[in-house]
């Protein structure tokens, strides 16, 4: 587990704490206090265990907002947090470090859509009144968008071209703009993406295109070219880390630009230099993958561990 704190507001000093059992081979995946981030999650008990450990160790208080949550998964998460001590019952209830708010998947779209806003309002309260650093989990943003997209049909509004509500930008913008840091405290939001249910009539909607990176069998399914962070700066990471990260993105972008040529003409029509670029990019993609320790029971492959310094020096 990695604990990194880099607050937006002015403090005496920024603190960096890295435990020795860090299970990360990605040299760019650092998350600071205050912004929003997306994290791929498993489902079921494995997800509950990882969430309980993260919620217990990364903030003053945590809030989990389950939008259209499955009853069994919500119950499993609640029991797991009680067993791990994140949520306490009885006389020690005031020592709990997490609050859960759910809407079930069988509830009307209005009730499901409001849970994300309710969780954010609770986070605002603990940040502003208690001066706490709050970790907000929204599971998940797609179901939040899906619930909002169902309401225009009930209200008789005309949807957009791909079927989403005409107020999509307003709905998501209003949620994301409230996730911010003040002089009193911060809210860090993690939006979980774990399952996409597609309509059979159209698999080209944005929600259907997002998981296609998984089809290459590269996990975690994070695309370095479509991911961005304001922490990717030489002032935060250092010159070596920053230059290597930008160099990797340049190689991967060159490889992406060659995809159409490779699909049409094949590798034989490429020059030797371009072939080396393609081979280099494919090695980078595989190196940025990682077998998860928590997924050993599903994949049968043992989890791998590479510390940050070794990951950077390997390039």
Residue 148 has pLDDT above 80, yes or no: yes
Kindly state the tokens that stand for 241.
């880390």
d(CA 25, CA 305): 7
Residue 309 has pLDDT above 80, yes or no: yes
Average pLDDT, the chain: 74
Could you count the other beta carbons within 10 Å of the beta carbon of residue 261?
13
Least reliable range by pLDDT among 130-139, 159-168, 275-284: 159-168
Strands (E), the chain: 2-5, 15-18, 36-40, 61-69, 98-104, 133-139, 186-193
Q: How many residues does the chain have?
A: 315
Q: Which of 41-45, 96-100, 199-203, 286-290: highest mean pLDDT?
A: 96-100
DSSP three-state, residue 68: strand
Residue 115 has pLDDT above 60, yes or no: yes
d(CA 86, CA 78): 10
d(CA 279, CA 168): 40
Residue 121 has pLDDT above 90, yes or no: yes
Residue 258 has pLDDT above 70, yes or no: yes
What is this structure's pTM? 0.57
Q: What is the pLDDT of residue 184?
A: 84
Is it true that the peptide bond before 124 is cis, omega within 30 degrees of 0? no
Tell me how far apart the 2 most distant CA atoms of the chain are, in Å: 73
Q: Please check whether residue 145 is in contact with residue 183, taking contact to mean a CB–CB distance below 8 angstroms.
A: no
Residue 300 has pLDDT above 70, yes or no: yes
d(CA 2, CA 25): 12
How do residues 194-216 score in pLDDT, each as one tens digit? Answer: 344 444 444 444 444 444 555 56
Torsion sign (Cα): 291, 294, 299, 300: positive
Strands (E), 142-279: 186-193
Structural fold of domain 2-203 = Rossmann fold (3.40.50)
Count of H-run helices and E-run strands, the chain: 12, 7
Question: What is the pLDDT averaged over residues 49-56?
Answer: 60
Q: Please check whether residue 57 is in contact with residue 19, taking contact to mean a CB–CB distance below 8 angstroms.
A: no
d(CA 119, CA 187): 11
Residue 7 makes CB contacts below 8 A (sequence gap 6+) with: 14, 32, 33, 34, 133, 181, 186
């Amino acid at each position: 587990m990695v604990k990194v704190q880099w607050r937006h507001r002015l403090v005496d000093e920024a603190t960096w704490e890295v435990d020795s059992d860090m299970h990360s081979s990605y040299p760019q995946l650092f998350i600071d206090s205050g912004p929003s981030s997306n994290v791929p999650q498993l489902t079921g008990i494995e997800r509950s265990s990882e969430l309980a450990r993260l919620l217990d160790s990364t903030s003053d208080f945590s809030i989990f907002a389950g939008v259209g949550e499955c009853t069994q998964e919500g119950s499993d998460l609640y029991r797991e947090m009680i067993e791990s001590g994140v949520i306490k019952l009885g006389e020690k209830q005031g020592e709990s470090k997490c609050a859960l708010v759910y809407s079930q998947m069988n509830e009307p779209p209005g009730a499901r859509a409001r849970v994300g806003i309710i969780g954010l309002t609770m986070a605002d309260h603990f940040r502003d009144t208690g001066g706490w650093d709050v970790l907000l989990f929204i599971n998940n943003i797609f179901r939040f968008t899906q619930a909002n997209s169902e309401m225009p049909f009930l209200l008789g509004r005309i949807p957009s071209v791909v079927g989403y509500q005409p107020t999509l930008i307003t709905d998501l913008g209003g949620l994301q703009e409230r996730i911010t840091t003040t002089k009193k405290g911060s809210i860090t939001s993690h939006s979980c993406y774990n399952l996409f249910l597609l309509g059979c009539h159209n698999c080209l909607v944005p929600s259907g295109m997002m998981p296609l990176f998984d089809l290459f069998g590269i996990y975690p399914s994070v695309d370095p070219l479509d991911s961005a962070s304001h922490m990717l700066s030489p002032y935060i990471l250092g010159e070596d880390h920053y230059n290597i990260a930008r160099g990797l993105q340049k190689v991967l972008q060159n490889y992406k630009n060659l995809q159409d040529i490779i699909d049409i003409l094949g590798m034989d029509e490429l020059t030797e230099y371009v072939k080396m670029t393609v081979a280099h990019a494919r090695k980078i993609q595989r190196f940025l993958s990682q077998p998860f320790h928590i997924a050993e029971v599903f994949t049968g492959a043992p989890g791998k561990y590479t510390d940050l310094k070794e990951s950077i020096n390997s390039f």
